[in-house]
Chain A
Amino acid sequence: SQQGEEDPQALSIQEGENATMNCSYKTSINNLQWYRQNSGRGLVHLILIRSNEREKHSGRLRVTLDTSKKSSSLLITASRAADTASYFCATARTDSWGKLQFGAGTQVVVTP
């Protein structure tokens, strides 16, 4: 079964607005990671948050993790057209080293 489920499936916003997407998971994790995938390209790692962390920032990205609710959110502030991409959460489960399980992804479109 899918470890990470994301919502929304798709998000359309204008430049300058914030984009928020959520990820839920089912089992105990070591960390949760967010990746971006531009059309026709590979995945790019954005940020990793460990299970003992609650919030992390990287540039315009803010990630939160609530292990009690088994959920995470990714906030992109002041979005740009170049942020148009699919965003995936991926969980590193405690019982399976070497495996990342990806959520279904959120497709974000930022219009100028």
Chain B
Amino acid sequence: DTEVTQTPKHLVMGMTNKKSLKCEQHMGHRAMYWYKQKAKKPPELMFVYSYEKLSINESVPSRFSPECPNSSLLNLHLHALQPEDSALYLCASSPKETNSNSNQPQHFGDGTRLSIL
């Protein structure tokens, strides 16, 4: 079992649907991430939250809308997705050291496998 929990594990939605992916961690980490991973490819960074504030948006289309309601939760709201958005969406978290620019290891959830019809 991972310490980062993602729900749902699988999601099938039509292009006109609105849905949300959820991620939760209770390790006290203050940085949280969304990644998109296509089959047989490495994860691609989408968003980074630091202390509940969006710090990095990797030019992600607005049909993906992240939200960080508190330090333990991270959501990804989906609307009007395209078939090419079908992928594994991974959430990760890491501690944040405010006085260092050294990255820490990231802890990943098992992802939500999203299929767009």
Contact = CB atoms under 8 A, between A and B. Distances in A.
Q: Could you say which interface size class chain B belongs to?
A: 20 to 34
Contact of B45 (A40, A42, A99): A99
Interface residues of A, number: 26
B71 to A, nearest CB: 16
Interface stretch (A60-68, A76-84, A100-108): A100-108
Contacts, number: 62
A43 B108 contact: yes
B101 interface: yes
B57 to A, nearest CB: 12
A87 B61 CA distance: 29
Interface of A: 2, 30-31, 33, 35, 40-45, 48, 50, 88, 92, 94, 97-105, 107
Interface of B: 2, 4, 6, 31, 40-45, 48, 50, 55-56, 90, 92, 101-103, 105-111
